[in-house]
Amino acid sequence: MQRTRVKICGLTREEDIDAAVAAGADALGFVLWPGSKRAIDLARLAELSARVPAFVTRVGLIVDQDAAFVEAACKHLDLLQFHGDETPGVCESFSRPYIKALRMREGVDLEAAASAYGNARALLLDAYKPGVPGGTGETFDWSRIPANLAKPVILAGGLHAMNVQQAIRAVGPFAVDVSGGVEAAPGIKAAAKIDDFLRQVLTTYPSKFQ
Ligand SMILES: O=C(O)c1ccccc1N[C@@H]1O[C@H](COP(=O)(O)O)[C@@H](O)[C@H]1O
């Protein structure tokens, strides 16, 4: 039986890293795209990533950014999360493994994407909102995710403690990813919400295991 992994994204403060690690998060996300209210720069990434203990994955969130910047960030990261329109070739051109985020716009072909991004460690599925690359706080129709996709699925988009059990039972994802659902304000996490979220995930098993 496999538990559902958890990534907490959009961390900007040491105390939030500590809270996420203490609650049992598997991965922590740092938004490196300057258009986000949760953005941090490379100097801050260096400080925050040094706080993360062994066996917790440090993930850098990128949206169609300059290659030299991405490679410089890799020094402080374990995994890249490409959240823009990056091609497979771009995603594979850096010194870290990657996951590819796909926004669930009308007509998106997840099976084709799983094949195209063949070296991705997982596909992260997020809600689609025109003009916004992610972090919208909105859910999408989880029934659109095909069973037995050729890549592990990381479910994102509008998750919080009150809907994550339902999401896990519906989708059976490898992992869930949350940002806004554990915040007091953009970039400011709430330890009680992180605890609650982790508690809900860790006490749920996907329907395929029931
Ligand atoms: O968090 C952001 O500001 C962000 C900006 C650009 C692309 C993605 C972003 N966040 C990611 O979006 C999903 C869903 O977030 P939420 O839980 O709905 O707030 C998640 O992967 C965030 O890391």
> Total structural domains in the chain?
1
Is this prediction's ipTM beyond 0.85?
Answer: yes
Q: What is the mean pLDDT of residues 69-86?
A: 98
Phi/psi-derived region of residue 4, left when phi > 0, alpha when psi is between -120 and 50, beta in every other case: beta
Residue 86 domain boundaries = 5-209
Residues 104-154 pLDDT 10s: 999 999 999 999 999 999 999 999 999 999 989 999 999 999 998 999 999
Q: What is the mean pLDDT of residues 7-16?
A: 98
Active site residue 126: yes
Write the residue with the smallest CA distance to atom 4 of ligand 1.
Answer: 135
Under 8 Å CB-to-CB from 65, ≥6 apart: which residues?
Answer: 32, 33, 84
Ramachandran angles phi, psi of 110, nearest 5°: -70, -35
Q: What's the pLDDT at 2?
A: 83
Average pLDDT, the chain: 96
What residue ranges line ligand 1, CB within 6 angstroms?
9-10, 29, 31, 33, 36, 38, 61, 63, 83, 124, 126, 133-137, 156-159, 177-181
Report the CATH number at residue 75: 3.20.20.70
Work out the pLDDT band at 210, boundaries 50, 70, 90.
Answer: very low
Q: What's the pLDDT at 1?
A: 61
